[in-house]
Structure 1
């Protein structure tokens, strides 16, 4: 077997604020894992909305350019460093990386690895790492929606949206989902009630379907959509915001923008009827309570993957493309023409 010191990896580099075709392929020696680390031979890496923001320099806390993007990955542990159980070698794992996933070999903290059950397609698993954890935590940890209640999911045809729809329906929750008309048949097949997100009377259509309001609204759009979603809540309902996609191409100060959102949510939560608004942070608690954060991540992804294994939910693969075609993959993901998640295969 080739040693890590002589093997060569392939990675995709984001050099700065560029168009998708500005990404470039780089080759360099594989780095051996250090103490507490593992070398993962990557089988699949996802293309997320985060990378769309990062290539515009608009993702909070992103590294300085140049860097290797890639928010999550699935692969097999090829080697471990000192202090890591040797039994991990050969184990298929998933890991949320935030950056660094678009590569053939990734060195990661072994504590962040989440074992993947046998028999699952790594590409299908990849679609459910960040998307599945996000959807599960928003539904069950943030909004705490109960069976029989109704929720509103914006962007229901996207990667997080389609996962959220399936998790909700599996839990006996009614789903109203906004999406483009071409995605409506797929959403109906998943048990959702679709609405055209371009409908000028979108709020009116939601009120027709849920006259008493919705128990929770999941909104990744931002801007005026947050206010509309909050207005559609039933008494005691929760708005869970998890992005500002409608502001993707803005050039305003990010910190000022988020401060305004948090201030508005705080004021809304003081209004009558017990309605609340919160902004979901995938990385919340990682720095302050890292052990609890990792346990929660592992438990939630394992729950989602168990549903996948048992055919209770289906992975939504928008496209599978070679790692070297990352630029085309990003352009495809940004085009809005695919349902589900675009996956890179090294």
Structure 2
């Protein structure tokens, strides 16, 4: 069958994206043909189009870090956890910006009824990242106090909601205009332009149990100092270097090295650079099982109303360039979604 997909040909502006049509083969053993209903625009695509994403493929390639869609066909040798006609989600890293894709069936996670494709999409990358950092890396528990940088962002807002749903107190940094939104989620807002460390000391004199930092840069030292004894710093990005010249890989490696040094210090605190893909290559079955477990719990929390999703705007596939440009505008509240079947974005 023919598939329409968006191609990133080389380093360039969002307008350099190209639309192409190509033939897809029949799904082979262990594969599934999925009709894509929704894919997201993440920070990864913003870095990829600059050529600065760590471990990115060679140009040209199809962006799309995740997807939600319907299984249309299964190759031979399938497991029983997905079926033709079922709505599913998948982490892909690349390839999601298309109307049809071939993926490994083992990577698919069932999406329960009562959740739209766009709603589910907002929680694939963001939800898996938030859940795994909060519960698998930091091992936060009810009664803890944690600090979430960018509490109104895609991952940050899910982190806040998951933490509050588990009885964890949250201090959340955000811009002045987003303070009310952070407070509405049950967190204590702190203006990121002020003296964050001083304010956190007022709110948590003994330090916090965990800090979740997507900014990187020099601020990572402040995040470390705000930890309580036994606390955990989880770094999951280097947003501060997005517009800086030079290699994104070098920036990430410097950050990882700094965290490794911190983690080796004999002071009882911990520091980690979170990689959503860590463990998949060495332990693929365990990785898939854990991801399926985590996303299933997150989808159920959404379906039950325990957490909410926010969709900023939905773009059709042919307007992927506009979607990427809007995602980088600094005005987004929620998730920018690309839906192949959507009408023109408003």
> Aligned ranges for residues 183-222 of structure 1 at < 5 Å?
183-199=178-194, 201-222=195-216
1:252 positional shift: 3.4
> Aligned ranges for residues 144-159 of structure 1 at < 5 Å?
144-159=139-154
Runs of 5+ unmatched residues, structure 2: 341-346
SS at match of 1:137: helix
1:257 positional shift: 3.3
SS at match of 1:15: coil
C-alpha distance in 2 between matches for 1:262 and 1:314: 32
Q: Specify the alignment match of 2:242 in structure 1.
A: 248
Q: Deviations over 1:101-157 (max 9, x none)?
A: 000001001111111111211100000001101000000000011111111101111
Runs of 5+ unmatched residues, structure 1: none
C-alpha distance in 2 between matches for 1:317 and 1:219: 23
Are 1:41 and 1:78, in contact at CA under 8 Å, matched by a contact in 2? yes
1:208 positional shift: 1.5
Task: Check if 1:17 corresponds to 2:11.
Answer: yes
1:318 positional shift: 1.9
Task: Check if 1:112 corresponds to 2:103.
Answer: no
Larger deviation, residues 312-321 vs 63-72: 312-321
TM-score (norm 1): 0.95
Q: Specify the alignment match of 1:42 in structure 2.
A: 36
1:260 positional shift: 2.8
1:336 positional shift: 1.5
C-alpha distance in 2 between matches for 1:292 and 1:113: 14
> Aligned ranges for residues 155-194 of structure 1 at < 5 Å?
155-194=150-189
1:88 positional shift: 1.2
C-alpha distance in 2 between matches for 1:267 and 1:28: 48
1:85 positional shift: 5.6
C-alpha distance in 2 between matches for 1:207 and 1:249: 31
1:341 positional shift: 1.2
Alignment RMSD (CA, Å)? 1.4
C-alpha distance in 1 between matches for 2:120 and 2:205: 37
C-alpha distance in 1 between matches for 2:216 and 2:35: 37
C-alpha distance in 1 between matches for 2:83 and 2:264: 49
Are 1:183 and 1:339, in contact at CA under 8 Å, matched by a contact in 2? no
Q: Specify the alignment match of 2:231 in structure 1.
A: 237
SS at match of 1:134: helix
Are 2:53 and 2:249, in contact at CA under 8 Å, matched by a contact in 1? no
SS at match of 2:189: strand
1:219 positional shift: 0.2
Larger deviation, residues 67-76 vs 245-254: 245-254
1:32 positional shift: 2.0
SS at match of 1:88: coil
Q: Deviations over 1:200-224 (max 9, x none)?
A: x121112121111111000010111
Q: Which residue of the other structure, out of 127, 136, 146, is the alignment partner of 1:132?
A: 127
Are 2:211 and 2:227, in contact at CA under 8 Å, matched by a contact in 1? yes
TM-score (norm 2): 0.95
Are 1:40 and 1:77, in contact at CA under 8 Å, matched by a contact in 2? yes
C-alpha distance in 1 between matches for 2:60 and 2:257: 33
Larger deviation, residues 45-54 vs 16-25: 16-25
SS at match of 2:328: helix
Are 2:3 and 2:101, in contact at CA under 8 Å, matched by a contact in 1? no
Q: Which residue of the other structure, out of 279, 289, 292, is the alignment partner of 1:285?
A: 279
